[in-house]
Structure 1
């Protein structure tokens, strides 16, 4: 099983590098082969490496997030299917939000919430989202409502990742949180390139930050899963 995990991880790294190279060189036709394999190999790596949480809602939710991400990757290969790709990633973020919520200690415990303190903790995330929206707003046209909805959901994803602080082990928190921030950055670059001002490096930056984000999130969830295994013992 361990050899299979390493093999799938190498496949993920290889197809990720190839896809970034194809993107950098403008070889869009080859990306029909490389891009769909990125998330499929990461999902395979997650499934074979997360035996500690086999059968749990967390494992199913993460699998759903990855499969929606895979659908989004495939749909975004076709420019005329952008809205459907956006919808697939919206569903992926909703699955991640649920996953981040349950991948912590006492996830649904009701306690005192300091909303002012919470606002200031999340302020850098709100600032990034607001800045991107300020720039892209004039160019959104009839895409304004879908983009606003998507922006709200991805901000929620990043803030729920941040709110895991102190509610899981440090490795799990930081990997998931940094992954969530890089996901936000990746989508921000994509939005700026599409609706504000296009630039040649956008494709590489989008894919590089996106791949890093997905990998960190999965590693972070697996780190929480290892703690779950120890707790069961």
Structure 2
């Protein structure tokens, strides 16, 4: 069964490569067919390999994150639905925050918190977000509040991934953390292209980092609970 499940990953990669090729060619008409196919095999893969987690909140939030990501992928194909696509990915990030929190040892243990040290640990994550916001802010207009909320949520996702350090095995930590970073990079490139300065390579960079992000996050959660 495990060997058969890996074919879903191959389908994910194939769909992603096809969409990247169409993105590089600027063929938006064909991307209407390719982009919606990307996340489906990855969601099926996770659903199949996580049957031992049936009924758990972790499994539900991970599947929810992938389904909201699929919705976001589809909605962002249409510029007039950008805000709805942003909302779908916002929900995906919230689901990932919950998943990252649950996929660690003693997730609800509070203990002593050194806020200064915590801030310094997260500072390398905050700085790029601040720079991106500084660059895009003049052109946000009525999108300012939605973008700020979105940025806060994705920062929460990345910092929650970082906080799993030494609370899970190294493979799970690094895959989830790097995946979360790639997600932030993907969204940052998209924001710069839309609200600061457009550049022709942005589409490939956005999708390339996005594909890596989703794959690494799924494999990282798998490394914590499955096998």
**Structure 1 length as normaliser, TM-score?**
0.96
Q: Residue 94 of structure 1 aligns with which residue?
A: 94
| Secondary structure at the counterpart of residue 52 of structure 2 | helix
Could you tell me how far 1:51 is from its partner in structure 2?
2.7
Residue 224 of structure 1 corresponds to: 224
Q: Which residue of 2 aligns with 1:209?
A: 209
Computed over aligned residues only, the root mean square deviation of the Cα atoms, in angstroms, reads 0.9
Q: Which runs of 5+ in 2 are unaligned?
A: none
Aligned to 1:160: 160
> Which stretch shifts more, 16-25 or 50-59?
50-59
The match for 1:81 is: 81
Task: Give the C-alpha shift of residue 48 in structure 1.
Answer: 1.4
Query: Equivalent residues in 2 for 1:141-160 (5 A)?
Result: 141-160=141-160
**TM-aligned CA deviation for residue 47 of structure 1:** 1.1
The C-alpha deviation readout for 1:120-140, integer Å capped at 9, x for no partner, is 000011001000000000110
Superposed CA deviations along residues 158-217 of structure 1, whole A, max 9, x for unmatched, are 000000001011100000000000000000000000000000000000000001000000
Q: 2:110 and 2:209 mapped to 1: Cα distance?
A: 35
Work out the CA distance in 1 between the residues paired with 2:156 and 2:127: 13
- For the Cα contact (< 8 Å) 1:4–1:48, is it kept in 2? no
Name the CA distance, whole Å, in 2 between partners of 1:167 and 1:3: 29
TM-score scaled by length of structure 2:
0.98
Q: In structure 1, the residue corresponding to 2:159 is in which secondary structure? A: helix
Distance 1:149 1:55 in 2: 30
**8 Å CA contact 1:180, 1:217 repeated in 2:** yes
The aligned counterpart of 1:134 is: 134
Matches within 5 A, 1:25-104: 25-104=25-104
Mapped contact 1:97–1:156 kept (Cα < 8 A): yes
Aligned pair count reads 227
CA distance in 2, matches of 1:90, 1:143: 14
Q: Which moved more, 1:166-175 or 1:52-61?
A: 52-61
Q: 1:181-220 residue pairs with structure 2 within 5 A?
A: 181-220=181-220
2:197 and 2:30 map into 1 onto residues whose CA distance is 26
Matched, 1:9 2:17: no
Of 40-49 and 15-24, the range deviating more from structure 2: 40-49
* Residues 169, 224 of structure 1: 8 Å contact kept: yes
> Quick one: distance in 1 between partners of 2:163 and 2:39?
26
Deviations 1:71-129 (A, max 9, x none): 00000000000000000000000000011001100000120011000000000110010
Q: Say which SS state the counterpart of residue 172 (structure 1) adopts.
A: helix
Whole-angstrom distance in 2 between the partners of 1:9 and 1:183: 19
Deviation at 1:4, TM superposition (A): 2.9
Equivalent residue of 2:200, what SS?
coil
